[in-house]
Amino acid sequence: MKKSLKLAVAASVLATPAMAANLENPLYMPTAGEFYSKTSGGLMLKVADDSDAHKMKNHDGETEFPIWRIQEDLGIGITDRIAIRGAFAYTHDADIDRKGMNHGRLGLIWRAVETSDDIVLDVYADAHLGGINKMRGAYTATGFQYDNYSNGRWGVDAGVRFGKTWNEKLTTSAFVEVLKTFGNSNNVIDIAGLNAEMGGMLALAGIPSEISVNLKSTTEINFGLNAFYQFNDTWSMGAGFKYNHHADNGVKSLATEVPAAANPIVQRIVGPLSDMNDGFDEYIVTLSVANQLTDNVQVALYGEYTFDDAHANSQNGTDVKAEVGVRLNLAF
């Protein structure tokens, strides 16, 4: 009887579902058949720097607030070592009338190494979804105005992340990745505003008010460091640093067909854009604290501050860039 009772107790313990892995852990990986979702809603404050692009628009030193940001990370485990994952983000900035998807990727991650002392190495590759939406913008009396956040280009992200968990409490990790975009003409640029500057020459030369250009391919690199601490089954916190290098854009040629006689005017527009000198580098510091409400539901509060170094023609340089928000994590 005692032996039967012990077996029953052991069976009940084994049948009790294990607590879900913490989705805030930077080395989190879904198991086979497990679906996860991380939905973030953030509020950002920006103060524009004094780049030439901002000065031309009389926007240097101006505050942009509130900027609303929504982000979604999700995925599903195919096996315990391979998962499909996606990441999407949308930003709405009413102060500069700019809105749209600013981030999109979909791909696979593979846990190539997992040792008995909790060292892991993951390899991943994602399709960069910048080509889903056309890049849209317009020339105005004060310079170029972006209407959305898309670069109009498709590409490939590839990278590795690695790290170790110490005493089931502290996790440290790092990652490095490269993004290659492929040049195309997936853009629409309103040049009607140039007519006043050129005395109506565009219309007289037979150049339409909207054109597309062939953009060059780019190569960008990101890397980061993360630390995560699990206080108990309920509370955890994380901190991180990330570096993003955004390459200068460049125009190869005009994609829209125009009369041959208009080529001198086209060169006046397109020629100076071969190297747009609009790249920028970001240095992002993050901090978060999370509460595990149930085995399947977690809520995290996060803060993010970005230092950046922008080239002269970049409209992305800031003196202040800060975001706070809440994240809802689900795993089933």
- CATH number for the domain spanning 13: value is 2.40.160.40
Domain extent, residue 112, equals: 2-331
How confident is the model at residue 112, as a pLDDT? 98
Closest to 62 (Cα-Cα) out of 140, 160, 181, 142? 142
287-306 pLDDT, tens digit each: 999 999 999 999 999 999 99
How confident is the model at residue 325, as a pLDDT? 98
pLDDT-flagged residues of the chain (< 70): 1-20, 199
pTM of the model: 0.91
255-284 pLDDT, tens digit each: 999 998 888 888 888 888 999 999 999 999
Q: Give me the number of domains the chain comprises.
A: 1
Residue type, 238: G
CA angle centred on 137, ends 132 and 143, rounded to 5°:
155
Q: Report helix, strand or coil for 81.
A: coil
Closest to 315 (Cα-Cα) out of 242, 246, 253? 246
CB–CB of 331/294 below 8 Å?
Answer: no
How confident is the model at residue 11, as a pLDDT? 44
| H/E stretch holding 130 | none
CA dihedral defined by 197, 200, 205, 210, rounded to 10 degrees? Answer: 70
